[in-house]
Each structure stands twice: as C-alpha cells, then as structure tokens.
C-alpha cells in the first residue's frame, strides 16, 4: 500500500498556508504571519525596489519548503528566488534562503529581509570565538554595524533574528505604533550578469529571560558554509 503524505504548505491562489503560519506570495515583504503571536517574519522587500506590488512568476512547495520566484519590472532587472522553510527546532524557527541574479551587465542587487513584530527590549549580537556575545541596545539607538543577530524580549516570549555572519549586511530598526520594523540588508551594491548571489536569514520565537536557545540557532547558522557567490 502506498502512503501519501500531505505537503506542509498548501497554496490557494497566491496565499500559502500551513498550520502555524501564512504568507501572501503577492506581497512577500509582509513575511510569514505567525498564528500564535501575530509577528511577521522574514519578508522580502521587492515592492520598494519595483515601486509596486510584485506577484511571483512561479511558486511551488517541496516538503517543508515554500519557493517563489520574482522578476520585478524595474530598471534593475533583478530575478529573486525566495525559499521559506520551517526548521526542526524545539522552538518555532524559520529560515529564508534568498538568491538574486540579473540579465544586465551590471545591476544593483541590494535586497532587504523585513520583519515586523511587537516591541520589546532589544539585544544585539555577533558570532565570535564560537559564541554569541549579546549586548543591550538602548531605546532609539541605531543598530551597530557589527550586529549579525537581534533578540527582542517581550513580556511572554522573545524573537530572534539573524543573518549569516559572512554576509554583507546592515540591520535597521524602526519603531512604529508599539511595533518594530527590522530590515536586514543583504548583498553588495553591484551584481554582474552571470553571477548568482545567495544568502540566508533565520528567525525564531522562544522563551524570554534566557538566550541559550537563540545562541544555538545562531551557532547552527554560523557553522554552515558562507552564502554562495558563483
């Protein structure tokens, strides 16, 4: 007898759904909407590049992976492929793998990974000597250039966001109406034809008052090979 397994994701129109999260593929900048917390994590800001909503030209699911391909109609002619997956962790954790290429001889490849979540106490960290050194970030202060990950502690839980330590990056935090908009900028400023850039970002929700679970996810990300450039 053949056993048929249902995919973790289902796609209805341009809405991708699973038990704990939903994603509007026509508005990838809004990210994964988590049913348990209302946070939006790991969106890809293509609308700001094209100046309008960017529906995918293709999308599919593969096990725990949700993949969408975008080709914004803007002067950059940047083709972006985004893959969202649920990670096997004790706490809810997600990964975004984003790649970019262009048909132009040279193009601006900068993309931002966007998360919007309830406000809380912020700590920033970087991976060094086999550990994450978490430091508090004063309210209203810009994120240091060395930051590779953030931990936002609320009254009941905490959210961790991280980019690969080897990636070109800049993290911006913008408070608005008791929420935080966090933009992690990826890739260098210029991309040549025939070159493929790829990077990864992770997000997770865990308990407040402890950093061990967040540091473990950052360590796992840091131990993986650097983002692909070919």
pLDDT digits (tens, 9 = 90+) for 67-86: 999 987 777 767 889 999 99
Q: Which CATH class is domain 10-222?
A: mainly beta
- Given a cut of 60, whether residue 3 has pLDDT beyond it is no
pLDDT digits (tens, 9 = 90+) for 142-196: 999 999 999 999 999 999 999 988 776 789 999 988 899 999 988 766 765 666 7
Closest CA to 218 of 154, 164, 144, 173: 164
33 vs 228, more confident: 33
227 pLDDT tier (thresholds 50, 70, 90): low
**Mean pLDDT over each residue of the chain, to the nearest integer:** 85
Give the model's pLDDT for residue 199.
86
95 pLDDT tier (thresholds 50, 70, 90): very high
Give the model's pLDDT for residue 5.
43
Give the model's pLDDT for residue 168.
62
- Taking the model in full, what pTM does it have? 0.89
Helix (H), strand (E), coil (C) string for 67-110: EEEECCCCCCCEEEEEEEEECCCCCCEEEEEEEEEECCCEEECC
Tell how strand 158-163 and strand 149-153 pair up.
antiparallel
- Given a cut of 60, whether residue 2 has pLDDT beyond it is no
């Amino acid at each position: 007898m053949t056993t048929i397994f249902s995919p973790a994701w289902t796609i209805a129109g341009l809405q991708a759904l699973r038990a704990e999260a939903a994603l509007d593929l026509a508005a990838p900048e809004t990210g994964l909407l988590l049913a348990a917390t209302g946070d939006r994590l790991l969106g890809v800001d293509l609308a700001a590049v094209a100046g309008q909503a960017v529906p995918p030209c293709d999308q599919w699911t593969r096990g725990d992976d949700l993949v969408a391909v975008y080709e914004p109609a803007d002067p950059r002619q940047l083709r972006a492929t985004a893959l969202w997956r649920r990670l096997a962790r004790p706490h809810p954790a997600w990964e975004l793998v984003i790649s970019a290429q262009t048909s132009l001889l040279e193009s601006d490849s900068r993309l931002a990974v966007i998360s919007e979540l309830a406000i809380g106490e912020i700590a920033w960290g970087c991976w060094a000597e086999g550990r994450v050194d978490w430091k508090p970030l004063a309210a209203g202060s810009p994120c240091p250039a060395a930051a590779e990950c953030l931990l936002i502690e609320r009254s009941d839980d905490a959210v961790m966001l991280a980019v690969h330590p080897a990636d070109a990056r800049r993290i911006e935090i913008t408070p608005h109406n008791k929420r935080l908009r966090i933009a992690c900028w990826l890739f260098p400023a210029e991309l040549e034809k025939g070159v493929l850039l790829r990077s990864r970002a992770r997000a997770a929700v865990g308990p407040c008052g402890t950093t061990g679970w967040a540091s473990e996810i950052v360590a796992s990300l840091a131990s993986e090979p650097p983002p692909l450039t070919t």
